[in-house]
C-alpha cells in the first residue's frame, strides 16, 4: 500500500509458542501506548488464533503491567447473531479473557448483535458501528473516520480473507465506508458486520496471525500477492508497522525471498 512500510515476518516453531510470544508482545505494545498517550486502543479478532491469543493473555505473567481501565476494545468483524450467541466473537472473547479483566465497560465496543435495536438489518448495524467509531475519533467534520488504533489484530483465513472481507467480494473494494454489512459470506454464518480495508489501514500497527498447515497456502499467496481484491490479507497494512506472525507450518510454503 502506498506510504505503508513493508510487512515484517516472525515465525515461531509451533502454535503454542506463537500465542505466548504474541501475548507478551501485545502487552508490551499496550503498555508503551499507555506510556506515550495515556490510553491504548486495540481491535480484537475471533477465530482459532484470535481467541487463542486472548486465552494466552489471560495466563500471561505480565498482564498486570497494563492498566486495563484505560484500554479501548473494538472488533474487526462479527457474526451477526443474537447477543450472547456462543459463535459471536464478543461472546468468545468474554469467556477467554475479558470477563476476568478490570475493564471500563464504556471502553468496550462490541459490534451490534442481531435482534437488537437494528433487528436483522446488518447494514443498519454497520452504520451504527461506523458512527460509534467516528464519535470516538472526534466526531468533527475534519476528524478521522475511525480512531487511530494502536494494534489491530487479524486472523488469516485459508482463502486469504481477513475480518469478513472475502476474496472477490464487493466489500473488499469499499473505500467510502468504514464498516459494512456482509449478507452473503461464503463462510457460515452468511450475515456479518466487518471493518473495511480503509478502517483496517487506520491502525498504527496491524498484526496478522496464522498457524497450521491449513494456512500455509494462504500465507504464501497473500505475502506475494499485489491485488487485495483477490487476496484481501495483502491489503491489510498498518500505518507504522505490519507484522505477520506465523508458526512453522503456516510458513512452510513461503518462498525464501519472503523470509529474508
The pTM score is: 0.96
In degrees to the nearest 10, what's the CA dihedral of 17, 29, 56, 162? -80
Say what the pLDDT of residue 256 is.
77
Whether 103 is covered by a domain: the verdict is yes
Residue 157 lies in a domain: yes
CB atoms within 10 A of CB 254: 18
CB 80 within 8 A of CB 189: yes
- Does a structural domain hold residue 171? yes
CATH number of the domain that residue 75 is part of: 3.40.50.1360
pLDDT value at residue 226: 87
- The answer to whether residue 147 is domain-embedded is yes
Number of residues assigned to the chain: 260
Question: What is the number of structural domains in the chain?
Answer: 1
Q: Give domain status of residue 225, yes or no.
A: yes
Q: What is the pLDDT of residue 259?
A: 67
Residue 58, Cβ neighbours under 10 Å: how many?
16
Predicted confidence pLDDT, tens digits, the chain (260 residues) = 556 789 999 999 999 999 999 999 999 999 999 999 999 999 999 999 999 999 999 999 989 889 999 999 999 999 999 999 999 999 999 999 999 999 999 999 999 999 999 999 999 999 999 999 999 998 767 667 999 999 999 999 999 999 999 999 999 999 999 999 999 999 999 999 999 999 999 999 999 999 999 999 999 999 998 899 999 999 999 999 999 999 999 999 998 777 65
Backbone angles phi, psi at 232, to 5 degrees: -55, -30
Residue range(s) defining the domain that contains residue 97: 8-241+248-254
Angle at CA of residue 29, ends 26 and 33, nearest 5°: 140
Residue 113 lies in a domain: yes
Q: Report how far residue 234's alpha carbon sits from residue 210's, in angstroms, rounded to the nearest whole number.
A: 14
**Residue 222 within any structural domain of the chain:** yes
| pLDDT for res 212 | 96
In a domain, 260, yes or no: no
Amino acid at each position: 500500500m502506498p506510504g505503508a512500510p513493508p510487512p515484517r515476518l516472525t515465525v515461531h516453531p509451533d502454535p503454542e509458542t506463537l500465542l505466548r510470544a504474541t501475548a507478551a508482545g501485545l502487552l508490551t505494545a499496550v503498555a508503551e501506548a499507555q506510556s506515550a498517550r495515556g490510553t491504548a486502543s486495540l481491535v480484537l479478532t475471533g477465530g482459532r488464533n484470535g481467541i487463542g491469543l486472548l486465552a494466552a493473555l489471560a495466563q500471561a505473567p505480565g498482564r498486570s503491567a497494563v492498566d486495563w481501565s484505560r484500554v479501548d476494545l473494538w472488533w474487526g468483524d462479527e457474526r451477526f447473531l443474537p447477543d450472547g450467541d456462543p459463535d459471536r466473537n464478543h461472546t468468545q472473547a468474554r469467556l477467554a479473557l475479558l470477563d476476568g479483566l478490570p475493564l471500563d465497560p464504556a471502553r468496550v465496543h462490541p459490534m451490534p448483535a442481531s435482534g437488537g435495536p437494528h433487528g436483522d438489518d446488518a447494514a443498519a448495524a454497520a452504520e451504527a458501528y461506523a458512527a460509534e467509531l467516528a464519535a470516538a475519533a472526534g466526531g468533527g467534520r475534519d476528524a478521522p473516520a475511525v480512531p487511530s488504533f494502536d494494534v489491530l489484530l487479524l486472523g488469516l483465513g485459508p482463502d486469504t480473507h481477513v475480518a469478513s472481507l472475502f476474496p472477490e467480494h464487493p466489500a473488499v473494494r469499499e473505500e467510502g465506508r468504514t464498516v459494512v454489512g456482509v449478507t452473503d459470506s461464503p463462510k457460515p454464518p452468511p450475515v456479518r458486520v466487518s471493518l473495511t480495508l480503509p478502517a483496517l489501514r487506520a491502525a498504527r500497527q496491524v498484526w496478522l496471525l496464522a498457524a497450521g498447515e491449513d494456512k500455509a497456502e494462504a500465507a504464501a499467496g497473500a505475502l506475494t500477492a499485489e491485488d487485495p481484491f483477490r487476496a484481501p490479507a495483502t491489503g491489510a497494512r498498518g500505518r507504522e508497522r505490519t507484522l505477520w506472525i506465523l508458526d512453522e507450518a503456516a510458513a512452510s510454503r513461503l518462498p525464501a525471498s519472503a523470509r529474508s
